[in-house]
């Protein structure tokens, strides 16, 4: 169902890899709601994924950019405003990567140059994206910037490894930069703390399937899907949430407020 919530709005969506991606689902929903946008991803991710199909489906342009490169981001912001015909109304940052996780390095045995690379890609890139938009005065008033995060920023999920630290950093950047963006340009900045979701990136975490099942049993409404997250993101891009900023918004079927659930207790007791 479409409500035309984003009619006339222009944006940039980072991180659509394939049809399992939250960014991909968000792009589809934004298109259905009347928004136009540029798709961006790192050149290597674009070779791995199928972003061309998404661009064709949504009538969008693709501008490759390494989100850790200020030069690439400057080019992306300039070209996006050119292609879209004006300033930007919404941005989705859906970028995360840990070399330590990929290479099977334990949290207690990190290779620190890999850690640094992951931090740069997963968290500092969000600051770089916002700084580029801010310095270029590229956002319209009442624009909305959203980054995707996970509750491992607040609580211990051992196999999430150094991505937990990256997400904590990301959330802090959202608050700190969100203050200046709000004060100076009336732009809001929020993070969505999403349920564990069966994306290509998520499935790289050890024991992920078991954890999805656990979170689903723990949450009174069950896990939020990628499409659910896309819908929530659309609401944050819309004019209906103009005064929501500096928030880390849990979108997890209630998981974040649970201690234990009947379903988890039953499964635990059966296993004894």
**Would you name the residues annotated as active-site residues?**
150, 160
> Rounded to the nearest 5 degrees, what angle is found at the Cα of 192, between the Cα atoms of 260 and 72?
145
**Tokens read off for 252:** 């997890």
167 assigned binding-site residue: yes
Which tokens belong to 114? 């890999």
Q: Residue 80: in which H helix or E strand, if any?
A: helix 70-84
80 is in an annotated binding site: no
What are the residues facing 93 on neighbouring strands?
Answer: 147
- Annotated binding residue 21: yes
Rounded Cα distance, 75 and 78, in Å:
5
Residue 111 annotated as part of some ligand binding site: no
Can you tell me the distance from the alpha carbon of 182 to that of 160, in angstroms, rounded to the nearest whole number?
Answer: 32
Distances (CA, A) of 12 to 40, 62, 90, 139, 155: 7, 10, 7, 11, 31
For the beta sheet containing 88-93, the strands, ordered from the edge strand earlier in sequence to the opposite edge, are 61-62, 36-40, 10-14, 88-93, 139-149, 188-194, 248-251
- What CA–CA distance (Å, rounded) separates 241 from 259? 30
Q: First CA to last CA across the chain, in angstroms? A: 46
Quote the radius of gyration of the chain (alpha carbons, Å): 18
Look at residues 21, 53, 33, 144 and name the one whose alpha carbon lies nearest to residue 92.
Answer: 144
Which two three-digit tokens encode residue 247?
């928030």
- 88 annotated to bind ligand: no
Name the binding residues.
15, 21-22, 95, 167
Name the binding residues for NAD(+).
15, 21-22, 95, 167
């Amino acid at each position: 169902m479409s409500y035309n919530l984003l009619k006339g709005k222009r944006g940039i969506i980072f991180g659509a890899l394939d049809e399992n991606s939250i960014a991909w689902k968000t792009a589809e929903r934004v298109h259905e709601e009347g928004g136009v946008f540029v798709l961006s991803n790192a050149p290597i991710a674009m070779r791995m994924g199928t972003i061309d199909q998404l661009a064709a489906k949504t009538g969008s342009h693709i501008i490759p950019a390494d989100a850790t490169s200020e030069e690439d981001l400057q080019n992306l912001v300039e070209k996006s405003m050119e292609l879209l015909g004006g300033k930007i109304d919404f941005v989705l940052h859906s970028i995360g990567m840990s070399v330590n996780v990929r290479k099977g390095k334990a949290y207690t045995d990190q290779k620190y140059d890999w850690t640094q690379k992951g931090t740069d890609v997963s968290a500092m890139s969000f600051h770089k994206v916002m700084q580029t938009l801010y310095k270029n005065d590229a956002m319209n008033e009442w624009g909305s910037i959203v980054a995707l995060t996970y509750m491992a920023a607040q609580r211990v999920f051992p196999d999430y490894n150094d991505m937990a630290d990256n997400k904590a950093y990301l959330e802090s950047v959202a608050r700190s930069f969100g203050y200046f963006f709000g004060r100076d340009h009336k732009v809001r900045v929020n993070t969505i703390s999403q349920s564990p979701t069966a994306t290509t990136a998520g499935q790289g975490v050890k024991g992920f399937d078991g954890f999805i099942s656990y979170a689903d049993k723990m949450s009174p409404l069950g896990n939020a899907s990628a499409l659910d997250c896309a819908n929530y993101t659309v609401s944050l891009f819309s004019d209906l949430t103009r005064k929501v900023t500096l928030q880390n918004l849990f979108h997890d079927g209630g998981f974040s407020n649970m201690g234990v659930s009947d379903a988890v207790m039953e499964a635990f007791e059966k296993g004894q």
